[in-house]
Chains A and B, each alone.
Chain A
Amino acid sequence: MRGLRSDMGRTRKRKLQLLPLHFAPSRRTAKAGAFTYGRTAKAGAFAYVVLALLALPIHTTLAQIKIGAVTCLTGALSTFGISSIQGAKLAEEDVNAAGGVLGQPIELIVEDNGSKAGEATTITRKFISQDKVVAILGDLTSSATMEGAPLAQAAKIPLLTPSATSVGITNIGDYIFRSCFIDSFTGKIMARFALDQLKAKQAIILTDVKQEYSVDLSDVIRQYFTENGGKISSAISYSSGDTDFRAQLTEVRIAHPDVVFLPGYYTEAALILRQSRQLEIACPFVGGEGWDSPALVEIAGKSADGNYYTNHFSAADPSPRVQEFVKTYRAKYHAVPDALAALWYDGARLLFQAVQRAGSTDSVKIRDALASTRDFDGVTGRISIDANRNASKPGVILKIENGEMKMVQEVTP
């Protein structure tokens, strides 16, 4: 910038000393000149904000039945968030194409919590007071749901999360529901599979201590495994974000377990599998639904073969229901649906169906309809909402063979 440069906190030099005095701008004008940019910027920012706020009421539509959907569309968890909202939107389309709910179209108001803490409360308040939604679909993660759920409960707006697995969520109140199974179920499936199918007597658990999901699952696995005759020879920990697990895996190699439980996310699981094969650890690894991602096989390569994990859903499931869903999803989004897309598709449809069964948009009736959901036919299985407002539904166990997930077993609760 020519002319007056302002250094922060330093005396401003006036460069125009060489000009004849009557041309030298007075201090006032100089200030005005220097501040024009700032003033314009300020005016612009102010106008923008005012416009943005005015835009709020512009958002009106003809749809009467509004349901708020909140997930992580940007930020670190954006890939999961986009999957989830695609599933939900597909459900919205399907339902509206079939005539809507209670004779009216459903509108999903989608908000993004940016994968940041603290956003979910603001968004929930917005849903409740601004958008006046009849129900809320969300959130993606347990911590975000823990933020928003108390507000929904206090305002008596039913909230359904299709993917948050932390046990404490549904304890918040009787308006909070969940359409996926919780960690205690997953852990049991994993332990039972290792005991029954893999005939494992001795196991090691590798826990991601930075993730509540992993810690919870590990506790459940340990409890079930030891109660049913197995022995956990050691519990080793790692942190999400680590890329080198050779120290922990050397310990595993020495211990020679029958099976290793790895209830973590695929980001680390992929590398752990790779490095374990490099260290010539031959036993199978058993994981939870956190493994579910094409990147697992991409990153781990051949090391992923011969391992197992539990999941809500398998796109390879030959049942016509699943295949039709996969086909429609593929046609719309040009990608194979993952478990999150399937879960949110089911969760959204379950919610819409509850509104239909409630016969009105009264929140008490919707809540009761949700609580009495039995044998809902979803792509992730038959879902019933139990007395604790969690979902009672089957899970699948997948084996990775030649880079593909093969369904080994379907486990009903």
Chain B
Amino acid sequence: MSRGPLSLMVGLVVCLGVSLFGENFIASNFAYYYDILITIGINIILATSLNLVNGYTGQFSLGHAGFMAIGAYASGSWSNHLDPVIFGVLGGPTNPLATNVGLFISMFFAGVLAAIAGFAVGVPSLRLKGDYLAIVTLGFGEIIRVAILNTDFLGASRGLSVIGSYTNLFWTFGSVVLCIYVVLGLVHSTYGRGFLTVRDDEVAAEAMGINTTKYKVLAFVVASFFAGVAGALYAHFKAFITPEGFNFFRSVDIVVIVILGGMGSTVGVTVAAVLLTILPEGLRALAHTQFVPPAYQGLLENRLILYSLLLITLMLTRPQGLFGDRTASKKRFVRSRETDG
């Protein structure tokens, strides 16, 4: 796809432009919206990467928050230890070049570490199917979280303060663009065929000589890499992370986005990520207005009750999610009898 790299470049340049000219203005005057915007970006990365595993490859992973945690803590502690060195070389914490380089190295390190963890978890687990895989990935997610909880130099139960918050619009949305590029690029290639085959009928795939384990592990590793990157962005944005923030409910949050968007549709998942990030804030605002009797305010703000109802209703009425049966790709739209991508 020669259009692909071009779109990537354009996307990155746009992000750079917005960031250079608009960042400070937005961050100071619209801090709340800025917060939501960056959270949207992080959620898109998390959801599209999980979609690669759950949607395109059909492997149900419930441990995505664990890789996010690895990325967050890896980049957090890396920054805490190495940023002073970088600042010493490139000049102080106010120097934008220094902070951006520091962040980039941090993110990359986080992604690589999370990818290694993804490989370590994936290889033994991915021979399991359906429900078993779900429980095992859940278990690994919890093991990662408990391991961090017991590690003193990562802050354990105290939490970890990350020096400075350098996450900015460029890195966040640049990563979003990169993530979508990579995911779509993989999907529209022979690897994508592999993923889809594994999803549709693993036995037939094996019979045709396709190495299903290779594709499953590849999807898992790529997804973990981006989960790590998202975790790094999260850590540098919130500036304080605790193991509790990466528990099973965080994984469920991401899974709900993927299911709402439609497993196997990148466009759908992106839209769902935007919707489900804005929704709690919208509900928060709504709960304050006169439209809602006080008795129900708590219900509105109880995100998990709403999400669980959303999951159940979605599965009963529209399991393919919002965009499940079609994507933005014209090719897919026309050949609707084929399985969707």
Contacts and interface: CB of A to CB of B under 8 A. Distances in A.
Interface of A: 1, 6-12, 27, 31, 34-35, 37-38, 41-42, 45, 48-49, 51-53, 55-56, 58-59, 73-75, 109, 111-112, 114, 116-118, 121-122, 125-126, 128-130, 143, 146-147, 150, 155, 166, 168, 209-212, 215
17 contacts: A1-B317, A6-B320, A8-B320, A9-B340, A38-B322, A49-B279, A51-B282, A52-B278, A52-B281, A55-B285, A59-B285, A118-B234, A122-B36, A122-B39, A150-B239, A211-B157, A212-B158
Interface stretch (B25-33, B77-85, B112-120, B206-214): B25-33
Given A48-B282, A52-B286, A126 B320 contact: no
B322 A114 contact: no
A227 B150 CA distance: 28
Nearest to B152: A215
A142 to B, nearest CB: 8
A11 B339 contact: yes
Given A8-B320, A37-B318, A211-B157, 20 more contacts: A1-B317, A8-B264, A8-B324, A9-B199, A12-B336, A35-B325, A41-B322, A45-B275, A52-B282, A55-B282, A56-B285, A116-B249, A117-B242, A117-B244, A118-B234, A118-B238, A125-B32, A209-B150, A209-B157, A212-B158
Contacts of B24: none
A159 to B, nearest CB: 14
B263 A8 contact: yes
Contacts of A209: 150, 156-157
Nearest to B325: A6
Contact of A143 (B33, B200, B244): B244
A1 B324 CA distance: 17
Contacts of B191: none
Contacts of A111: 284
Interface string B266-298: 000000000100110111111011010000001
Given A9-B199, A129-B30, A146 B161 contact: yes
A254 to B, nearest CB: 26
B157 A117 contact: no
B319 interface: yes
Contacts of A126: 32, 35
A331 to B, nearest CB: 19
B161 A73 contact: no
Contacts of B159: 143, 146, 212
A118 B244 CA distance: 10
A337 B316 CA distance: 45
Contacts of B32: 122, 125-126, 128-130
A49 B275 contact: yes
Contact of A146 (B33, B240, B281): B240
A121 B275 contact: no
B95 to A, nearest CB: 18
A227 to B, nearest CB: 24
Top 5 A-B residue pairs of the complex, sorted by shortest distance between their CB atoms: A52-B282, A117-B245, A129-B31, A125-B31, A212-B157
Contacts of B39: 122
Query: Most chain-A Cβ atoms within 10 A of its Cβ — which of B33, B159, B241, B317?
Result: B159
Query: Would you call the interface of chain A mostly helix, strand, loop, or mixed?
Result: helix
Given A49-B278, A143-B242, A59 B263 contact: no
Contacts, number: 142
Query: Would you call the interface of chain B mostly helix, strand, loop, or mixed?
Result: helix
Interface residues of B, number: 61
A128 B30 CA distance: 9
A150 B284 CA distance: 23
B228 to A, nearest CB: 17
A316 B318 CA distance: 57
Contact of B324 (A6, A51, A55): A6
B202 interface: no
A155 B282 CA distance: 24
Nearest to A31: B336
Contacts of A42: 322
A45 B306 CA distance: 13
A112 B300 CA distance: 11
A9 B245 contact: no
B149 interface: yes
A2 to B, nearest CB: 13
Interface string B214-247: 0000000000000000000010011111101110
Contacts of A74: 298, 301-302
A210 to B, nearest CB: 6
Given A6-B325, A143-B240, A143-B242, A52 B161 contact: no
B87 to A, nearest CB: 19
B330 interface: no
A109 to B, nearest CB: 8
B188 interface: no
B291 to A, nearest CB: 7
A6 B285 contact: no
A73 B199 CA distance: 42
Contact of B286 (A11, A55, A114): A55
B240 A55 contact: no
B34 interface: yes
A53 B282 contact: yes
B3 interface: no
Contacts of B263: 8-9
Nearest to B34: A125
Contact of A210 (B33, B157, B199, B318): B157
Interface in B36-70: 36, 39, 58
Given A8-B320, A9-B339, A150-B240, A58 B289 contact: yes
A53 B285 CA distance: 7
A155 B29 CA distance: 11
A9 B150 CA distance: 41
B337 interface: yes
